[in-house]
């Protein structure tokens, strides 16, 4: 017992040394970074995001823009949010009367934070009780790290390898697709648009509202505004999968998307999804608040599944079932 007690003491001391060395007197973001906390301040709250993203399935990059409506509860001369692995191209902060504030910004990769400082002798910062618009353009890469907005691949009927773009934001990877308040405490509504090649389709949390032709023979899909939710529940998919469709008794359209060569394995999960949705509506006496639910089978997926509002993603080995070939364990 004494050995165990001494061992735990040594472990505790080593942990304290590591914390002191990593945090210590040296700011992990640099002395010129204006915020010294791993968590975001709660004095500036996002209310609504207008988000546009364009995944490029040829060069595996993406570009995007976001406009965030902010509610200020306490005056400040800085705005701090999350951003990781993104290049911020342009940033603008406006007051409710469309006054453009003079700002500068710095990134802290160690804490995945973006700090915006209000500058100028005449600027007193942002005022409590006011709303502000924060708009940014940015770019990033579609990596194969299975987090953020990433790329996955699949095979066609003739064996050709094709790519798709898909998101995995839980627990803290929405910040890898767009700058945001990426802590579950900060809930807001989201209106998402996806720019895509016409040979593909896109999905997001809400139903498609309109498709608009863009320059360079591209299409822009505009989706409805979400319920108030945390950033880790946002979902975006860009691919060319077919789908199987079935409706619940209350008219919710449930669609299961998979590569064409696996479509014969979707019936079991689609039936189970409809049955489960109908059961919980009856048992809880709460109607499902959306008009659709998309389910996607993904080959490269770090989790078993992800419960994004209106767009659930699954590892394909978990969601697909062939009654003639799959095992009882499957």
Residue-by-residue pLDDT tens, the chain, 330 positions:
555 556 656 555 555 545 545 554 467 898 889 999 999 999 999 999 999 999 999 999 999 999 999 999 999 999 999 999 999 999 999 998 878 999 999 999 999 999 999 986 555 689 999 999 999 999 999 999 999 999 999 988 888 999 999 999 999 999 999 999 999 999 999 999 999 999 999 999 999 999 999 989 999 999 999 999 999 999 999 999 999 999 999 999 999 999 999 999 999 999 999 999 999 999 999 999 999 999 999 999 999 999 999 999 999 999 999 989 999 888
pLDDT of residue 124: 65
pTM above 0.85, yes or no: yes
User: Containing domain of residue 273, as a range?
Assistant: 242-319
pLDDT of residue 96: 84
Question: Is 20 a domain residue?
Answer: no
Q: Where among 238, 267, 287 does a domain terminate?
A: 238
Statement to judge: residues 197 and 213 lie in one domain: yes
Instruction: List the beta bridge partners of residue 203.
Output: 237
Statement to judge: residues 116 and 161 lie in one domain: yes
Statement to judge: residues 278 and 216 lie in one domain: no
Q: Where among 238, 259, 274 does a domain terminate?
A: 238
pLDDT of residue 159: 83
Question: Is 9 a domain residue?
Answer: no
Statement to judge: residues 90 and 204 lie in one domain: yes
> What is the total count of domains within the chain?
2
Question: Is 324 a domain residue?
Answer: no
Statement to judge: residues 102 and 207 lie in one domain: yes
Statement to judge: residues 72 and 191 lie in one domain: yes
Statement to judge: residues 224 and 290 lie in one domain: no
Statement to judge: residues 81 and 182 lie in one domain: yes
Buried b or exposed e, range 289-305, using 16+ CB within 10 angstroms: ebebbbbbbbebbeeee
Statement to judge: residues 112 and 248 lie in one domain: no
Q: What CATH number is associated with residue 298?
A: 3.30.2010.30
pLDDT of residue 99: 84
pLDDT of residue 2: 53
Q: What CATH number is associated with residue 49?
A: 2.60.40.1730
Q: Where among 185, 212, 238 does a domain terminate?
A: 238
Statement to judge: residues 78 and 116 lie in one domain: yes
Statement to judge: residues 122 and 136 lie in one domain: yes
């Amino acid at each position: 017992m004494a050995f165990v007690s001494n061992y735990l003491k040594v472990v505790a001391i080593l942990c304290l040394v590591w914390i002191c060395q990593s945090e210590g007197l040296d700011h992990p973001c640099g002395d010129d970074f204006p915020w010294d906390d791993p968590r975001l301040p709660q004095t500036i709250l996002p209310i609504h995001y207008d988000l546009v993203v364009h995944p490029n399935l040829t060069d595996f990059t993406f570009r995007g823009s976001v406009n965030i409506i902010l509610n200020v509860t306490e005056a400040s001369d800085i705005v701090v949010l999350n951003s990781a692995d993104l290049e911020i191209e342009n940033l603008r902060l406006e007051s409710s009367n469309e006054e453009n504030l003079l700002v500068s910004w710095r990134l802290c990769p160690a804490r995945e934070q973006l700090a915006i400082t209000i500058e100028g002798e005449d600027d007193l910062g942002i005022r409590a009780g006011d709303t502000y618009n924060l708009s940014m353009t940015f770019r990033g890469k579609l990596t194969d790290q299975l987090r953020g907005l990433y790329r996955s691949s699949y095979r066609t009927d003739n064996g050709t390898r094709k790519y798709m773009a898909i998101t995995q934001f839980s627990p803290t990877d929405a910040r890898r697709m767009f700058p945001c308040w990426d802590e579950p405490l900060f809930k807001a509504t989201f209106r998402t648009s996806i720019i895509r090649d016409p040979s593909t389709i896109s999905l997001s949390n809400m139903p498609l509202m309109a498709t608009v032709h863009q320059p360079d023979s591209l299409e822009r899909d505009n989706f409805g505004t979400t319920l108030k939710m945390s950033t880790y529940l946002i979902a975006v998919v860009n691919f060319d999968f077919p789908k199987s469709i079935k409706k619940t008794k209350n008219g919710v359209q449930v669609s299961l998307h998979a590569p064409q060569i696996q479509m014969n394995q979707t019936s079991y999960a689609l039936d189970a999804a409809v049955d489960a949705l109908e059961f919980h509506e009856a048992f809880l006496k709460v109607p499902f608040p959306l008009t659709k639910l998309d389910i996607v089978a993904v080959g490269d997926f770090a989790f078993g599944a992800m419960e994004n509002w209106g767009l659930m993603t699954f590892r394909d080995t978990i969601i697909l079932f062939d009654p003639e070939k799959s095992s009882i364990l499957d």
